[in-house]
Structure 1
Amino acid sequence: MHNDAALILRLTSEKTKESAFKELLALYKERLYWHIRKIVVSHDDADDVLQNTFIKVYKNIHSFKGESKLFSWMYRIATNEAITHLKQNARQKSSNNEELQQQTIANLQADVYFEGSEIQLKLQKALATLPHKQQLVFNMRYFDDLKYAEMSEILETSEGALKASYHIAVKKIEAYLTRD
C-alpha cells in the first residue's frame, strides 16, 4: 500500500516536488484516465482533461488538507474537470440533448481506441442516454466499484441521493438493453 503522507510531504517540498509528481503520475494516471474517459467518452478529450487535472493537482497540492485520501481528492478534481469539459462542449455546440447523445454514440462507434464487444458497445450506448449525473454515478459505482461513502465525498452529495441516482440509472439501462 502506498503512503499518502510521505508523498504529500515530497510534493510540497521544492527539492522533491518534481520527482514526487512523476511518482504521482505513475501511480494514478491510468486510473484517472479511465475514469475521465468514461465521462467524456473521446480519447482525445480524456487526454486533455487528464492533463488539466494533473496541472490543477500540481498547482494546488499545497491546499490539500488531508481530510480525504489523496486519490479521492484527485478523483474529485478529475470529475469536476470532466464535467466542466462536457458543459463547455455542450455550450459550444448548443445543440439539443438528443443530438448530443447521438453524436456521443457515433463517436464511440468510430473510436479506434474502443475495443469493446457488441454488448459493451450497447451498454455504452445505453449510458449515453442517461443524464450526466446518472452516468457519473453509474460509472463510479459499476465500473470503478467505489463505495457510496467515497462517492459522497468526491461528488459532495448525500449517500441517499447517490443510491437513488444509481438505482434510476440501472433501471434506465435495463430498459434500454431489453428493448428491440
Structure 2
Amino acid sequence: MVEEETLVKELKSKETQSNAFEVLVTNYKERLYWHIRRIVLNHDDADDVLQNTFIKVYRNIDGFKGDSKLFSWMYRIATNEALSFLKQKSKKLGLTDGEYKDHVIENLQADVYFEGDEIQLKLQKAIATLPEKQKLVFNMKYFEELKYEEISDILDTSVGGLKASYHLAVKKIESFLKED
C-alpha cells in the first residue's frame, strides 16, 4: 500500500491524480462500501453512496489539509453521504425516519446480497432501532473494529462520549434481542 502522505501528494498533482485515484479506490473501496452498507443496509444504495463518496473525495482532495488521516476524512465524507442519502430517500417516499428504518429492515431479507442468517437479521433489526450516533459508533467499533481514537476523528466527538454511546448501544441491542 502506498504511503498516505505520498498518495495525497499524488492526488493533488494533476500529472499523477488519475493513477493515484485508482490506487485510492482500490485500497479503500471495500472498507468504505461496508461502512456505508451498515448505514443504508441496501446493496444498491450502498453502491450509489460509495460512488458519490469517491466523487466528493476526488472533487475536494485539494481541500484536504492533513489534519486527520486520509482514511478518517474519507470515512467522514462517506458517513455524511450515507446519512444524507437516508434523509433524501425517506423524504422522497414520504416516510418519517422511523418508518423508513422499518421499511429498510423489512426489505433486508429480500435483498439478494444479504447473506446473514436469522440471528444476523435480528442483530440488524436491533441496530436499526438505535439512534443514529449510537448506530454509527456501534458499527464502527463492533464490525469495523476501529479504535475509539479513529472513530473520534471520523465523527469529531470525544472518546469519552463515544465510549458512552457504544455502551448504551450494546445495552439497547442486548435488551432488544432478549425481548425478541
Same fold, TM-score > 0.5, yes or no: yes
Residue by residue, what CA displacement relative to the aligned partner does 1:89-130 show, whole Å, maximum 9, x if unpaired?
A: 232234244422321211111110011122111101111111
List gaps (5 residues or longer) in structure 1: none
**Separation of aligned partners in 2, 1:54 and 1:40:** 17
Letter in 2 for 1:123: L
- Offset at residue 72 of structure 1 (A): 1.0
Partner residue in 1 for 2:52:
52
CA shift in 2, pair 1:94/1:168, >3 Å: farther
Partner residue in 1 for 2:158:
158
Q: Is the 8 A contact 2:76 2:155 kept in 1?
A: yes
Partner residue in 1 for 2:115:
115
Matched, 1:81 2:81: yes
Residue by residue, what CA displacement relative to the aligned partner does 1:11-51 show, whole Å, maximum 9, x if unpaired?
A: 11111111110111100001100000000001111111101
Partner residue in 1 for 2:64:
64
Relative to the length of structure 1, the TM-score reads 0.95
CA shift in 2, pair 1:159/1:76, >3 Å: same
Q: Is the 8 A contact 2:87 2:97 kept in 1?
A: no
- Say what the alpha-carbon RMSD is for the aligned residues: 1.3
- Offset at residue 133 of structure 1 (A): 1.5
Letter in 2 for 1:62: D
Relative to the length of structure 2, the TM-score reads 0.95
Tell me the SS of whatever aligns to 1:110.
Answer: coil
Number of equivalenced pairs: 180
**Separation of aligned partners in 2, 1:88 and 1:101:** 13
CA shift in 2, pair 1:96/1:77, >3 Å: closer
Partner residue in 2 for 1:95:
95
Partner residue in 2 for 1:14:
14
Structure 1 runs (4+) deviating above 6 angstroms are none
